[in-house]
């Protein structure tokens, strides 16, 4: 019979402990969790990107509802535990829920320290510890205004950056001479303060808060020197205290935190403490890496093992986009220490390594943190650096007399070397997962190990490990930078465009530190798409940043001529349209006319100088562009359906025309082809399209993520709907989800595989609110969809000048 394990708290440390426990001893315990917050486990170290807008709550969930269900975990949300009855071995929550235990884990975390100055209890004075705090900040930030952050430590500076990104003006008040004085020396602190000032964040050091001013709400902060700073919000980020009161009331030994031994047991052998509330050998840890290390030890103990926790070394990284900072160990000056320093003012780089007895005891890196893991590993191991003393400051790649392959440096790391500090993941665990689970992409590694899934600063190391482990089998295309103009990948570029509110290509290149002045033929089309999609109606589509085919509404051929494909809605045409096409073919002596696989007519061999006139004549006949060249909706292929076919169950032609007219002109990450078949015989070949519909007696079966090009793939079933209106809504919502999440030139089948077919189904089929929101955003964006320069749809500022003769540019890459 399974033992009863009760956990008080649902943070990152108990979450990691349970992952390890379920792996070591599945089924050993019936697990019940009491969580004071009304939600599942999420990544609290990613609150800063949520505050800044770079991530959402959904992005930082660690264990969703399905995880608890899969492992049989009972989760009581919004249930703060009020009492531990050690004699009865039971806990009781404030809402009256009681659970008995054989073993109990207390993981109550910590509480923020609020300076008890006058006015500290005014509305608008906030702490910064959980998602509720972030939600309160965001609500106030909607009105812009001024925020004052008290505390220039790690958390305070991240809060300041996040609020600045939300449009507030921000002042940071710090009591000491320099910011982050516990983690940085004065030189690094100076560089950091300058970087924050460049971002519009005011820093005031040696600032002692006298009182918080306001009548009914926060209005300002008064300093001891008499200065008054106006404020609509005051964020207290001056420290934390272990939440040990519950344990103390239960008679457990407490000091600053809940005292535990090397097995994480309290003074009661059936009760354990974990996380920020625990005190081990006189130390309470507040960073996630040591909490994860102790979580693994506790999982082993609960599974019957004898692992011991000996304490941790910690390192610090600041989660402010564009600022590279690493700090570890002891960097104070002293007579028994020496330091090695490198400064590069041009690059904004500062490195300082502190040695004692030829061993690294501290390191501070600013501007270039690539060697942080290497220094940290030597610090933990007490490595003698005598042999590399002269080149130590230049980093790992320079050892042995020259700049070595970075992969060789990673190869030299031991298996227990920490790669991902946020999640406490070592090299050996990543390599084992890659080999045992057949992982081939960065997303796979993140999903199975969590390495690089949080702040992302270790992504380069993880990629090098993958290359080292997989050799030629590793294809890093999906995680490579957009192009040589930037070190950022597509996902980061798109995330930062939204977070920073960047609405022009020059703004993107400036704020994201592009390496070239104007970009290139790879990045400009991608940036143009992301801006068009993310800011419809605000961003003016830049045709010069599109491939030549998109600019001239025709496909360039190998002889330099072009092919022209007018749109035929759902593949249906008429004698009038056919006569117009025939007249154009004769008039411009077009040598070849061909039916396409998408049920359209393609005129091949059109001279470049004839393109404007060809399209003008077609436009007079009512044709619009078929966008056979576009990163957008190309065709909706149909069969004749119930109107004519004796097997047809629904009006497939009508639905195809409706879909095409509703969705045409919408840019997408890559070309998009649809099909609607009127019965399961599937004459329109809907099961190899990007999105397909199979009509059946009971309704419409929607498919997605097929391919019939360089890669052959059958579709996945999205789900079944009963009506044509529902089919339209689901397909449009799916398209919008792909538009918002897909990387430029990433076909829908690659996108769906990357994020997970079940995730697509969950958002489109199961979550009506999300589906409707996607649908509504698509409808809004269609007001600003691409238009033809000869079409009657064009008016005023929406009109693009059509000058194919003036266009020189890149042909689009093969897909």
Q: Tell me the chain's radius of gyration from C-alpha atoms.
A: 30
- Residue 531 is given by DSSP the state H
3-state SS, 617-679, equals HHHHCCCCECCCCCCEEEEEEECCHHHCCCCCCCCHHHHHHHHHHHHCCCECCCCEEEEEECC
3-state SS, 225-274, equals CCCEEECCEEEECCCEEECCHHHHHCCCCECCCEEECCCCECCCCCEEEC
Contact 341, 366 (CB under 8 A): no
- How far apart CA 477 and CA 480 sit, in angstroms, is 5
Q: Binding site residues, as ranges?
A: 639, 645, 679, 683
User: CA angle at residue 172 from 169 to 178, to 5 degrees?
Assistant: 145
Q: Which residues of 675-698 are buried (b: 16+ CB within 10 A; e: fewer)?
A: bbbbbeebbbbbbbbbbbbbbeee
Which is it for strands 41-42 and 61-63: parallel, antiparallel or unpaired? antiparallel
Contact 291, 276 (CB under 8 A): yes
- How far apart CA 466 and CA 452 sit, in angstroms, is 12
In 3-state terms, what secondary structure has residue 638? strand
For 184-244, where are the E strands, in sequence order?
201-204, 209-213, 220-223, 228-230, 233-236, 240-242
- How far apart CA 450 and CA 444 sit, in angstroms, is 9
Q: Which residues of 329-352 are buried (b: 16+ CB within 10 A; e: fewer)?
A: bebeeeeeeeebeeeeeeeebbbb
Which is it for strands 271-273 and 278-280: parallel, antiparallel or unpaired? unpaired
Q: 202: Cβ–Cβ under 8 A, 6 or more apart, which residues?
A: 169, 170, 171, 172
Tokens of 410: 């990673």
User: What sign results for the dihedral spanned by CA atoms 135, 141, 147, 152?
Assistant: positive
Tokens of 709: 């090009």
- How far apart CA 625 and CA 619 sit, in angstroms, is 9
- What number of residues does the chain have? 815
Q: Binding site residues for siroheme, as ranges?
A: 683
In 3-state terms, what secondary structure has residue 20? helix
Contact 497, 508 (CB under 8 A): yes
How far CA 719 is from CA of 716, 729, 761, 762, in Å, comes to 9, 13, 8, 10
- How far apart CA 107 and CA 9 sit, in angstroms, is 5
Nearest to 638 by CA among 566, 680, 686, 681: 686
Please list the residues that pair with 361 across neighbouring strands. Answer: none
Contact 692, 715 (CB under 8 A): yes
Q: Binding site residues for [4Fe-4S] cluster, as ranges?
A: 639, 645, 679, 683
373-380: long-range contacts (C-beta < 8 A, 24 or more apart)?
A: 373/413, 373/417, 373/418, 373/419, 373/458, 373/461, 374/409, 374/413, 375/328, 376/313, 376/315, 376/328, 376/329, 376/418, 377/413, 377/414, 377/417, 377/418, 379/313, 379/328, 379/329, 380/313
User: What sign results for the dihedral spanned by CA atoms 446, 451, 455, 457?
Assistant: negative
Q: 238: Cβ–Cβ under 8 A, 6 or more apart, which residues?
A: 113, 115, 150, 151, 153, 156
- How far apart CA 283 and CA 401 sit, in angstroms, is 41
Tokens of 670: 């890559």
In 3-state terms, what secondary structure has residue 694? strand
Per the listing, tokens 């993140």 go with 446
């Amino acid at each position: 019979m399974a033992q009863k394990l009760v956990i008080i708290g649902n943070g990152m440390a108990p979450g990691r402990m349970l992952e390890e426990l379920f792996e070591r001893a599945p089924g050993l315990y019936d697990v019940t969790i009491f969580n004071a917050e009304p939600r599942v486990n999420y990544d609290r170290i990613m609150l800063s990107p949520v505050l800044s807008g770079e991530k959402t709550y959904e992005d930082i969930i660690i264990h969703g509802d399905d995880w608890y269900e899969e492992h049989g975990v009972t989760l009581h949300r919004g249930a703060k535990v009020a009492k531990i009855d050690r004699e009865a071995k039971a806990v009781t929550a404030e809402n009256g829920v009681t659970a008995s235990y054989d073993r109990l884990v207390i993981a109550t975390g910590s509480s923020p320290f609020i300076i008890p100055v006058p006015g500290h209890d005014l509305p608008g004075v906030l702490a910064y510890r959980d998602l509720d705090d972030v939600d309160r900040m965001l609500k106030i930030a909607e009105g812009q205004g001024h925020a004052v952050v008290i505390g220039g430590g790690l958390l305070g500076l991240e809060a300041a950056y996040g609020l600045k990104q939300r449009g507030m003006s921000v002042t940071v008040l710090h009591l000491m001479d320099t910011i982050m004085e516990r983690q940085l020396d004065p030189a690094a602190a100076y560089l950091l303060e300058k970087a924050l000032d460049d971002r519009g964040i005011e820093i005031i050091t040696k600032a002692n808060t006298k009182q918080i001013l306001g009548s009914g709400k926060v209005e300002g902060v008064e300093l001891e020197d008499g200065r008054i700073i106006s404020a609509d919000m005051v964020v207290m980020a001056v420290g934390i205290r272990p939440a040990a009161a519950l344990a103390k009331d239960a008679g457990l030994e407490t000091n600053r935190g809940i005292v535990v031994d090397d097995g994480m047991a309290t003074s009661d052998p059936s009760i354990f403490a974990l996380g920020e509330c625990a005190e081990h050998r006189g130390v309470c840890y507040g960073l996630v890496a040591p909490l994860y290390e102790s979580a693994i030890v506790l999982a082993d103990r609960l599974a019957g093992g004898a692992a011991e926790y000996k304490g941790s070394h910690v390192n610090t990284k600041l989660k402010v986009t564009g600022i590279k900072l690493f700090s570890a160990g002891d960097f104070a000056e002293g007579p028994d220490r020496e330091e090695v320093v490198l400064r590069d003012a041009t690059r904004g780089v500062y490195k300082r390594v502190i040695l004692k007895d030829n061993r690294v005891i501290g390191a501070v890196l600013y501007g270039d943190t690539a060697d942080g893991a290497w220094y940290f590993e030597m610090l933990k191991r007490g490595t003698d650096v005598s042999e590399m003393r002269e080149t130590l400051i230049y980093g790992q790649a320079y050892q042995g007399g020259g700049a070595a392959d970075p992969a060789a440096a990673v190869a030299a790391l031991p298996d227990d070397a920490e790669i991902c500090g946020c999640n406490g993941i070592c090299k050996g665990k990543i390599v084992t997962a890659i080999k045992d689970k057949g992982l081939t992409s960065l997303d796979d590694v993140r999903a199975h190990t969590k390495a690089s899934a949080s702040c992302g600063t270790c992504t380069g190391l993880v990629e090098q490990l993958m290359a080292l482990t997989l050799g030629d089998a590793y294809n890093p295309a999906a995680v490579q930078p957009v192009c040589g103009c930037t070190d950022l990948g597509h996902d980061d570029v798109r995330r930062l465009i939204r977070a920073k509110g960047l609405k022009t290509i020059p703004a993107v290149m400036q704020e994201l530190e592009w390496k070239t002045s104007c970009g290139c033929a790879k990045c400009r089309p991608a940036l143009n798409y992301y801006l068009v999609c993310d800011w419809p109606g605000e961003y003016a589509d830049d045709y010069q940043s599109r491939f030549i085919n998109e600019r001239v509404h025709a496909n360039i051929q190998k002889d330099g001529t072009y092919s022209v494909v007018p749109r035929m809605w759902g593949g249906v045409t008429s004698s009038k349209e056919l006569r117009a096409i025939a007249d154009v073919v004769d008039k411009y002596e077009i040598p070849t006319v061909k039916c396409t696989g998408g049920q359209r007519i393609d005129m091949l061999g059109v001279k470049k100088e004839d393109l404007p006139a060809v399209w003008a004549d077609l436009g007079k006949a009512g044709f619009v562009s078929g966008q056979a060249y576009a990163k957008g909706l190309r065709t909706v292929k149909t069969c004749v359906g119930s109107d004519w076919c004796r097997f047809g169950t629904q009006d497939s032609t009508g639905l195809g025309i409706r879909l095409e007219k509703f969705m045409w002109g919408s840019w997408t990450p890559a070309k998009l082809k649809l099909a609607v078949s009127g019965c399961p015989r599937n004459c329109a070949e809907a099961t190899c399209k990007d999105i397909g519909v199979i009509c059946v007696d009971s309704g419409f079966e929607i498919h997605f993520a097929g391919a019939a090009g360089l890669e052959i793939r059958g579709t996945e079933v999205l789900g079944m709907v009963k009506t044509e209106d529902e089919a339209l809504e689901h397909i449009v919502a799916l398209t919008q989800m792909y538009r918002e999440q897909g990387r430029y030139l990433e076909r829908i089948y690659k996108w769906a595989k990357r994020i997970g077919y079940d995730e697509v189904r969950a958002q489109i089929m199961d979550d009506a609110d999300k589906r409707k929101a996607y649908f509504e955003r698509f409808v809004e964006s269609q007001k600003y969809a691409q238009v033809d320069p000869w079409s009657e749809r064009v008016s005023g500022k929406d009109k693009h000048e059509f000058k194919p003769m003036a266009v020189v540019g890149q042909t689009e890459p093969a897909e």
